[in-house]
Amino acid sequence: MKHSNIPIFIPELACPHQCIFCNQSKISGQKEIPQPEEIPSIIETHLATMNDGREIEVAFFGGSFTGIPLDLQERYLAAAYRYLESGKINGIRLSTRPDYINDKVTELLKRYGVTTIELGAQSTDDNVLLASGRGHKSEAIRIAAEKILKNGFHLGLQMMIGLPQDSYERSNQTVNDIIRLGADNTRIYPTLVIKGTQLAKLHDMGLYQPLDLETAVKWSKEFYLRFEKNGIKVLRVGLHPSEELDYHKSLIAGPYHRSFMELVMTGIWRDILKQELRSIQNESLCLTVHPHQINFVWGYEGRNKKLFEEKNLNIKVTGDDSLSKYGIKISHR
């Protein structure tokens, strides 16, 4: 079933931290914090465009929701809960920091029907967490994840790649830990240098170098496949261009691409095609894949066509929805 979030951004509300990469007001593209009284009209506006029977969740994103005073959290939650009770939405999700999960918080979130808690884990390596100014250690992620699952919530663990002190091995270990901790879903965010952040200063002084786009896509591709193989839903790879980052104004450096996910899928299909077509050349072939995958077989801006040209293959691609996501049938034409 189609799923949509009604995103409500609460940027850096009550967040006493200053993570090195974060300037929430820039990332969410807004400086004003919506008040609890405004929540119904935000929800109504979105609902008006979503009346096709899809699954809908209200999502409090953009900061550390559970860092807000409990009474204010309750006012936000109560506003969304009305829509859950009346069946107009199917769930409430929110994002927060691992060290902002405690028994009082989980009790409140349960009472107001919160379904999913996403933790900005970012990395499970203590060196990376320290260098990124996160203000907690990896242990906090484990404790929070266990508490969330024990209380019956779905668990999201978001990660970032290319943070200061990060390496392929450390990001790879973070992926292993996210799987081991029992996450239901994840998001992979390549680290970007945003104006007004500490990271921008370090970058300015030549003390931080972001991943290049090719490396970020390569790591994301591998991690994406591993998460999928382990039954963890990857909700997003890269930042959403329109919603979250006015990149012309805010981005200083880093592996940003408006079609980042498409680049990842292009890479996944390039690997599949290389393998499947390894001993074939000078042929006219029909490749049949799941209809949702046809564009990725050709690749972003037709980049996978090069592979066909190198092998002198005349290719036609058709769709068959009985095939699995990465299934492929090859026939002669």
Q: Could you list the residues that contact ligand SF4 (CB under 6 A)?
A: 12, 15, 17-19, 22, 24, 63-64, 97, 120
Pick between residue 162 and residue 299 the one whose CB is nearest to ligand SF4: 162
| Residue 20 CB neighbour total at 10 angstroms | 19
Cβ contact 116:157 at 8 Å? no
CB of 158 to ligand SF4, least distance (A): 10
Q: In what helix (H) or strand (E) does residue 118 lie, and over which residues does it extend?
A: strand 114-122
Nearer to ligand SF4, 203 or 303 (CB): 203
Nearer CB in complex with ligand SF4: 19/58: 19
- By beta-carbon proximity to ligand SF4, the closer residue of 64 and 288 is 64
Sign of CA dihedral 180, 10, 21, 5: positive
Residue 180 Cβ, how far from ligand SF4 at the closest point, in Å?
Answer: 23
Nearer to ligand SF4 by Cβ, of 28 and 185: the residue is 28
Distance set, CA 176 to CA 138, 142, 182 (Å): 13, 13, 10
- Please say which residue, 22 or 297, places its beta carbon nearer to ligand SF4: 22
Q: What is the C-alpha to C-alpha distance for residues 121 and 141, in angstroms, rounded to an integer?
A: 6
Which helix (H) or strand (E) covers residue 122, if one does?
A: strand 114-122
CB of 61: closest distance to ligand SF4 in angstroms? 10
63, two tokens: 């900061």
Cα atoms in the 13 Å half-sphere on the side-chain side of 181: 32
Shortest CB 172 distance to ligand SF4, Å: 22
Nearest-approach distance from CB 63 to ligand SF4, in angstroms: 5
Say which DSSP state 59 is in: E
Nearest approach, Cβ of residue 10 and ligand SF4 (Å): 9
* Residue 296 near residue 266, CB atoms below 8 Å: yes
